[in-house]
Amino acid sequence: MNSQNIYILGIESSCDDTAAAVIHNGKILSNIIANQKIHEEYGGVVPELASRAHQQNIVPVVDQALKKAGITKDQLSAVAFTKGPGLMGSLLVGTSFAKSLAYGLNIPLIDVNHMQAHILAHFIDEEGFDKPPFPFLAMTISGGHTQIVKVNNHFDMEVIGETIDDAVGEAYDKSGKLLGLGYPAGPEIDKRAKLGNPKAFKFSKPKVDGLNFSFSGLKTAILYFIQREVKNNPNFIEENLNDICASIQYTIIGILTDKLKKASKETGIKHIAIGGGVSANSGIRQALKDGESKHGWTTYVPKFEFTTDNAAMIAIVGYLKYLDKDFTTQNVMANARLKI
């Protein structure tokens, strides 16, 4: 295949979004995502329902990605897919489809680590977005993960800090549930936080050694706070919702930035990138930007559409691995607990 004409199809199915993207020499031609609304009524992702929806969505999503990219499947150089981590049933749908397609087309198959992909999304060729130089620190924040990763090169990454219990996305969703907000609660808390006073209510930050995080204690503190205040005033949540959201967001951002400051100081690295679904949060993005003037950081925030689960990030990893001829075999299996 001519090095100037590398087309990679990326497939993502780790949780509740079925996604497919086509990348051409590092530039995204299409990035199609089918969301699953069915989980909203349950207040969280139901794995069995997610798997069934992936089976319904994957063929039309891949078809649409190829059409939008303006190519046929016969022009593909390789197929890249999410091997893990994620929900096993969901991963199996994407893995099986990718293996079958690559086998049928007789082209290379490339397995991708979902968490690495969130970080390497920064290397998609996108006008107005700089690529971080090595080494840099990446904070991956999502519904299932909260990590600080030292990135030495594309595929040499070291987790130097992570949550010991809940992920930051869970902290948002569980807090939102206590406040009567829908699922996912993160975007709603972020929206309301802009209208409230971040210092209206004080929540203590958990004390965790090193660069690790903890969010379960914060969730419990918010629960007791809400129960106490509602007992005194049944309308407390309704009357103070924006201030409560602003105070929760302020505390969560403080927990994240405190550890990031510590990591930067310990490693001496001032190039800081974020990735993962929660990096779409406007408060977190602003706090990172503020770090440029406060701490002398150079920060990297991905394009909004590359923050939440998407196949463009799978495609860029596929492209980078293709250049290294780092392919997998038809014996590859999904791994729900895959580590960086």
182 carries a ligand binding annotation: no
175 carries a ligand binding annotation: no
295 carries a ligand binding annotation: no
190 carries a ligand binding annotation: yes
Residue 297 CA to residue 293 CA, distance in Å, equals: 7
143 carries a ligand binding annotation: yes
Could you give the angle at which helices 186-193 and 282-295 cross, rounded to 10 degrees? 60
210 carries a ligand binding annotation: no
25 carries a ligand binding annotation: no
DSSP string, 202-268: --PPP--STT-B--HHHHHHHHHHHHHHHHH-TTHHHHHHHHHHHHHHHHHHHHHHHHHHHHHHHH-
DSSP 8-class letter at 34: E
DSSP string, 265-333: HHH---EEEEESGGGG-HHHHHHHHHHHHHH--EEE---GGGTSS-SHHHHHHHHHHHHTT--B-TT--
142 carries a ligand binding annotation: yes
Give Cα separations from 283 to 24, 215, 246, 249, 327 (angstroms). 33, 18, 10, 7, 39
74 carries a ligand binding annotation: no
38 contacts 80 by C-beta, under 8 angstroms: no
140 carries a ligand binding annotation: yes
Annotated binding site for Fe cation: 114, 118, 309
Residue ranges of the binding site: 114, 118, 140-144, 173, 186, 190, 281, 309
Annotated binding site for substrate: 140-144, 173, 186, 190, 281
